[in-house]
Chain A
Amino acid sequence: MSVLAVIEHDRGTIATASLGVLTAARTLASQMGTTVEAVTVGANADALSSVAAQYGASVVHQAHHASLTDFGPEAWGEAVAQVVKKISPQVVIGTGTERGHEVVAQVAARLDLPASMNCTEFDSAFTGAQPLKVVRARWGGSLLEQAEVDASIKLVTLANHTVEAVESPATATHTVHEVELNDSVMHSFVQDRVERVAGVTLATAPVVVSGGRGVGSAEAFAPLEELAGLLGGIVGCSRAVTNNGWRNHTDQVGQTGTRIAPDIYIACGISGAIQHWVGAMASKNILAINTDKEANIVTKAGYAVIGDLHKIVPAISEEIRRRRG
Chain B
Amino acid sequence: MSEFPSRAKCVVIGAGIVGNCLVGHLSKLGWTDMVLIDKGPLPNPGGSTGHASNFIFPTDHNKEMALLTLASQQQYIEHGMNNTSGGIEVARTPERMEEFNRRMTSAKAWGIDSTLLTPAEIKELVPFINEKILLGGFYTPSVSVVDSLQTGTLMRESAVKAGHLQVFANTEVLDLETKDGQISAVVTNKGRIEAEYVVVACGVWSPRIAKMAGANIPLTPAVHQMADVGPIDVLQKTNAEVAFPIVRDMDTFCYERQSTGSMEVGSYAHRAIFMHPDDIPSNEASALSPTELPLTMDDFDPQMEQAIELMEMLGDAEIKYAINGLLSLTPDAMPVLGETVEVKNLWSAAAVWIKEGPGIAQLVAEWMTYGYPHLCDPHSSDISRFYPHEKTEHHIYARCDEHFNKTYGIVHPREQWASQRNMRRSPFYPREEALGATFFDARGWERPQWFASNAKLVDKFPAVCEPREHEWDARWWSPITNAEHMQMRESVGMVDLTAFNEFDFEGPGVVSFLQYVCVNNVDVAVGRSVYTPLLTPGGGFRGDLTIMRLGQEHFRVITGAFDGGRDKYWFKKYMPTDGSVTFTDMSQALCTIGVWGPNAEKTMAKATQTIDADGKLIPFDVSQANFPYGSVRDVLIDGVPATMFRISYVGENGWEVYTRMEHGLRMWDTIAEAGKEFDIIPVGMGVYAVTGRIEKGYRLMGAELESEYTPVEAGLARAKVKSADFIGKAEYMKAREGKPAAIMCTLEILDHTSKSGIKRYPTGGNEPILTKTGERIVDAKGRVSRVTTAGMGPSLGKYLLLAYLTPEHAVEGNELRVMYMNELFPVKVARVGSQPLFDPTDARMKS
Given a CB threshold of 8 Å, the question of whether A touches B is answered with: yes
Q: How far is the CA of A292 from the CA of B41 in the complex (A)?
A: 8
A295 part of interface (Cβ distance < 8 Å): yes
Question: Bound complex: CA of A147 vs CA of B657, how far in Å?
Answer: 78
Contact check, A293 vs B42: say whether CB atoms are below 8 A apart.
no
Question: Which residues of chain B come closer than 8 Å to A294, judged between CB atoms?
Answer: 41-42, 169-170
Write the B258-286 contact mask toward A (1 if CB under 8 angstroms, else 0).
00000000000000000000000000100
**Complex CA distance for A295 and B41, rounded to whole angstroms:** 7
Q: Give the CA-CA distance A295 to B169 in the complex, in Å.
A: 10
**Which of chain A's residues 269-325 have a Cβ closer than 8 Å to chain B?**
292-296
For B283, give the chain A residue with the smallest CB separation: A296
B interface: dominant SS:
loop
Residues of B within 8 A of A293 (CB): 1
Give complex CA distance A51, B422 in Å: 86
Our count of residue pairs bridging A and B at CB distance below 8 angstroms stands at 10
Q: How far is the CA of A295 from the CA of B42 in the complex (A)?
A: 9
Q: In the bound complex, do residue B42 and residue A292 qualify as a contact, i.e. CB atoms below 8 Å apart?
A: yes
Task: Encode contact with A along B40-65: 1 for CB under 8 Å, 0 otherwise.
Answer: 01100000000000000000000000
Min distance, Cβ A239 to any Cβ of chain B, angstroms: 12
Q: Whole-angstrom distance between the alpha carbons of A6 and B661 in the complex?
A: 88
Q: Closest chain A residue to B171 by CB distance?
A: A294
CB of A243, distance to nearest CB on chain B (Å): 10
Across the interface, name the chain B residue whose C-beta is closest to A292. B41
Residues of B within 8 A of A295 (CB): 41
- For chain A, the bracket of interface size reads under 10
Shortest C-beta distance, A143 to chain B (Å), equals: 13
| Closest B residue to A243 using CB positions | B320
Q: Give the chain A neighbours of B284 by CB distance below 8 A.
A: 296
Mark interface residues in B177-216 (1 if CB within 8 Å of A CB, else 0): 0000000000000000000000000000000000000000
Q: Closest CB-CB distance, B165 to chain A, in whole Å?
A: 17
Q: What residues of A have a CB within 8 angstroms of the CB of B169 in the complex?
A: 292, 294
Scoring B residues 1 to 22 as 1 if CB is less than 8 Å from chain A, else 0, what string do you get? 1000000000000000000000
A299 to chain B, nearest CB (A): 9
How far does the Cβ of B349 sit from chain A's closest Cβ, in whole Å? 24
Q: A293, A294, A295, A296 — which one has the most chain B CB atoms within 10 A of its CB?
A: A294
A292 to B1, CA, bound (A): 11
Residue of A nearest to B169 (CB): A294
In the assembled complex, the CB of B298 is this many whole angstroms from the nearest CB of chain A, namely 26
Chain B residue contacts of A292, Cβ below 8 A: 41-42, 169
Q: How far is the CA of A262 from the CA of B463 in the complex (A)?
A: 93
Instruction: Give complex CA distance A296, B1 in Å.
Output: 16
Binary contact track A29-69/B, C-beta < 8 Å → 1, others 0: 00000000000000000000000000000000000000000
For the complex formed, measure the closest distance between the CB of A300 and the CB atoms of chain B, giving whole angstroms: 12
Contact mask B716-734 → A, CB, 8 Å, 1/0?
0000000000000000000
Q: How far is the CB of A95 from chain B (nearest CB, A)?
A: 32
Q: Which residue of A lies closest to B287 (CB)?
A: A273
Complex Cα spacing A296 to B170, Å: 10
Complex interface residues of chain B between 271 and 319 (CB less than 8 A to chain A): 284
Measured CB to CB, the closest approach of chain A to B152, in angstroms, equals 16
Tell me, rounded to whole Å, the shortest Cβ–Cβ distance linking A140 to chain B: 15
A86 and B42 CA atoms in complex are apart in Å by: 61
Closest to B40 in A: A294
Q: State A192–B355 Cα separation when bound (angstroms).
A: 61
Contacts of A296 in B (CB 8 A): 284
Interface residues of A in 89-128 (CB under 8 A from B): none
Chain A nearest CB: distance from B290 CB in Å? 15
Question: What is the CA–CA distance of A293 and B42 in the complex, to the nearest angstrom?
Answer: 10
Closest residue on chain A to residue B1 by CB atoms: A293
CB distance from A108 to the nearest CB of B (A): 33
In the complex, how many angstroms separate the beta carbon of A296 from the nearest chain B beta carbon?
8
Q: Mark B149-181, 1 if CB is under 8 A from A, else 0.
A: 000000000000000000001100000000000
Ranked 4 nearest A-B pairs via Cβ: A294-B170, A294-B169, A294-B41, A292-B41
A-B contact pairs, 10 of them (CB 8 A): A292-B41, A292-B42, A292-B169, A293-B1, A294-B41, A294-B42, A294-B169, A294-B170, A295-B41, A296-B284
Interface residues of B (CB under 8 A from A): 1, 41-42, 169-170, 284
Q: Supply 7 further A-B pairs (C-beta < 8 A) apart from A292-B41, A292-B42, A293-B1.
A: A292-B169, A294-B41, A294-B42, A294-B169, A294-B170, A295-B41, A296-B284
